[in-house]
Amino acid sequence: MSRIALARYLTEALQQGRLADAELARLIETVADICVSISHDVAQGALSGVLGEAGTGNVQGEQQKKLDVIANDRLLEGCEWTGLLAGMGSEEMDEPYPIKAEYPQGKYLLMFDPLDGSSNIDVNISVGTIFSILKKQGDAPLREADFLQPGTSQVAAGYVLYGPQTMLVLSFGHGVVGFTLDAGSGRFVLTHPEIKVPTATKEFAINMSNQRHWETPVQRWVSEMLAGSTGPRGKDFNMRWVASMVGEVHRILMRGGVFSYPRDAREPGKAGKLRLMYEANPMSFLIEQAGGAATNGRQRILDIQPEQLHQRVAVFLGSKDEVETVTGYHG
């Protein structure tokens, strides 16, 4: 059986007209290569002294881990000189990152969460890098407004999961594919040529410790699932929670399920916990491309017009039947 590496897959997609242009292919390859080095950092852990707090905070008011900072720097330094980008945005930076004047300018914008699930780093549970690619409109100098495009404008999105195997899961608008890192060659090899999310599920992921803060529709939805086969849903559900969106979404893409992080009463001025641009949009793009659905409880996530770079949003995504159920309860 022929082993198809990422470079060959992207080249063939370009030849078949499924990928926009060679620059996008090179950008995806560049991000993947950088993630191989991040994977090595994660795998080394305490052996390289990269565990623990960095002693700094991000724009979200969260304490950064050392690997948050390392992964962020690797992505910035590895992408800025390529001539493929007009700018970058990161969960770990207050402002957009313009490409320095000494480097050639490109037409794409790269958004990323350099290390999602970083609270799990020190306990050796899966974390990952999430990325989203947009096309810059016009030739004016870079502004924050250039990034504020709805999720439907993404030309590609994906993540790299640093787990028992390092995997790249990717979509550029023609379905979802998965690649596994071959440690011997350092290349991502196609292992999941067509990822689909089952329409129905009996598995859900939510942080139950926040239950007392949820809105009424979410309380109803979860209580019905917990009631099992004797309740109104007439079937038993399993619950999962690993506190890493990458891990949760990967499980859903592999076997189905639904992931939710609803808004709650602890911070009523915020629409949710997760970031629209770095987390919800790229993951929703992948889920929809795999046949699932993603909403904030009231509307499709990919249709939301962003107003801020670090905007937050409620998230319900995964198997279509369950997402439609909880969205209907909000309606």
pLDDT one-digit tens code per residue, 238-292: 999 998 999 999 999 999 999 999 999 888 888 899 999 999 999 999 999 999 9
* Crossing angle between the packed helical segments 216-227 and 320-330, to the nearest 10 degrees: 140
Using alpha carbons, select from 252, 12, 286 the residue that is nearest to residue 173: 286
Asked whether residue 125 carries a pLDDT value surpassing 90, the answer given is no
| 185 annotated to bind ligand | no
| 116 annotated to bind ligand | yes
Please, what is the average pLDDT of the chain?
Answer: 93
Could you give phi then psi for residue 310, rounded to 5 degrees? -110, 30
| 41 annotated to bind ligand | no
CA atoms of 152 and 284, how far apart (whole Å): 10
Strands in 117-234 per DSSP E: 127-135, 156-162, 166-171, 177-182, 187-192, 203-205
Q: Note whether 130 and 113 are within 8 A (CB).
A: yes
Q: Where are the alpha helices (DSSP H) in the chain?
A: 6-15, 22-44, 66-79, 216-227, 245-255, 281-289, 320-330
Query: Can you tell me the mean pLDDT for 141-147?
Result: 94
pTM of model > 0.85:
yes
58 — pLDDT class (breaks 50, 70, 90)? low
| H or E segment and range at residue 122 | none
pLDDT for residue 320: 98
- Which span out of 124-128, 168-172, 261-265 was modeled with the highest average pLDDT? 168-172
**Sign (positive/negative) of CA torsion 71, 77, 82, 85?**
positive
Report the alpha-carbon angle 167-193-75, nearest 5: 35
pLDDT for residue 254: 97
CA atoms of 6 and 150, how far apart (whole Å): 27
57 — pLDDT class (breaks 50, 70, 90)? low
pLDDT for residue 115: 94
Query: Can you tell me the mean pLDDT for 68-72?
Result: 92
Asked whether residue 6 carries a pLDDT value surpassing 80, the answer given is yes
Query: Can you tell me the mean pLDDT for 126-153?
Result: 95
Question: Which residues does 310 contact at the CB level (< 8 Å), separation at least 6?
Answer: 59, 60, 91, 275, 277
Q: Note whether 122 and 52 are within 8 A (CB).
A: yes
Query: Can you tell me the mean pLDDT for 159-185?
Result: 96
Q: Note whether 40 and 55 are within 8 A (CB).
A: no
Q: What percentage of the chain carries pLDDT values higher than 90?
A: 82
The domains located in the chain, with CATH, are: 6-192 (3.30.540.10), 203-330 (3.40.190.80)
| 68 annotated to bind ligand | no
CA atoms of 106 and 86, how far apart (whole Å): 5
pLDDT one-digit tens code per residue, 189-224: 999 999 999 999 999 999 999 999 999 999 999 999
CA atoms of 265 and 263, how far apart (whole Å): 7
| 19 annotated to bind ligand | no
| 226 annotated to bind ligand | no
| 94 annotated to bind ligand | no
Question: Which residues does 10 contact at the CB level (< 8 Å), separation at least 6?
Answer: 19, 25, 28, 29
User: Residue with structure tokens 């993630």?
Assistant: 35
| CA-to-CA separations, 310 to 36, 103, 161, 271, in angstroms, rounded | 26, 26, 23, 12
Using alpha carbons, select from 156, 155, 134 the residue that is nearest to residue 306: 134
| 49 annotated to bind ligand | no
Question: Which residues does 82 contact at the CB level (< 8 Å), separation at least 6?
Answer: 26, 27, 30, 103, 106
| 118 annotated to bind ligand | yes
pLDDT one-digit tens code per residue, 87-122: 999 999 999 999 999 999 999 999 999 999 877 878
| 91 annotated to bind ligand | yes
| CA-to-CA separations, 188 to 97, 124, 273, 282, in angstroms, rounded | 28, 22, 32, 20
